[in-house]
Amino acid sequence: MRERLLPQDQVALARELPPAGIPDGAQLDADTARILDSLDLGDLNATEGLAERQRSVDDLCNLYMGIEHLRYLEGEKHLLFVTEFGFVGLERAEHAKSLAAVAADARVAISPIQTGGLPTAWAGPIFMGRPWKHTTAYFDGRNVAELTGGLASFYRYAATAVRRLDEATRFHYSLGYYSSNND
């Protein structure tokens, strides 16, 4: 990753992004501890659910790091969050609102793009299984995109979403001049 193109003798080196703090980190930790206490780790569905939750927390951390990286850059900034599984699907709406607030403060529009196809049902209660998590992830992604000025794309081809974003962020000026001198 290069920050900008420079003459060959002045090439900027890639830099490591430091971990970003999560405003709701203490709540996430408490929720994770509560979930761990209630799980039967011998149950395959519980283990898969725990792995899915960890992926969501990791995705949330990565989004905050991306926002902090873009915070001090000039101009319009868009963060495309491309994921196979949907947007960060956590059980609290506050997490999506906090993310949107931090992104809006940094003037970063978040555009989630889900590329993994339609979710399938699995055994277990409807409100605890994957279909429910995909539904909340869908709404969280739409809300964050709307609150930050981004575009959300779920259950569509990624090329369509990127084209929509490209068209939405292009601009041009048409300048005209009429001489006041008719000679």
- Reported as a pLDDT band with limits 50, 70 and 90, residue 16 is low
Q: Which of 46-50, 67-71, 104-108, 140-144 has the lowest mean pLDDT?
A: 46-50
CA separation, residue 94 to residues 48, 97, 104, 127 (Å): 24, 5, 15, 19
Q: Which residue has the higher pLDDT, 146 or 137?
A: 146
What is residue 58's predicted lDDT score, i.e. its pLDDT?
84
**Mean pLDDT, the chain, whole residue set:** 76
- In this predicted model, what pLDDT tens digit does every residue of 28-61 receive, in sequence order? 778 777 777 777 666 666 677 777 778 878 888 8
Cα–Cα distance measured from residue 79 to residue 72, given in angstroms and rounded to the nearest whole number? 14
Quick check: 86 and 116 in contact, CB under 8 A?
yes
Of 106 and 58, more confident: 106
pLDDT at 178: 77
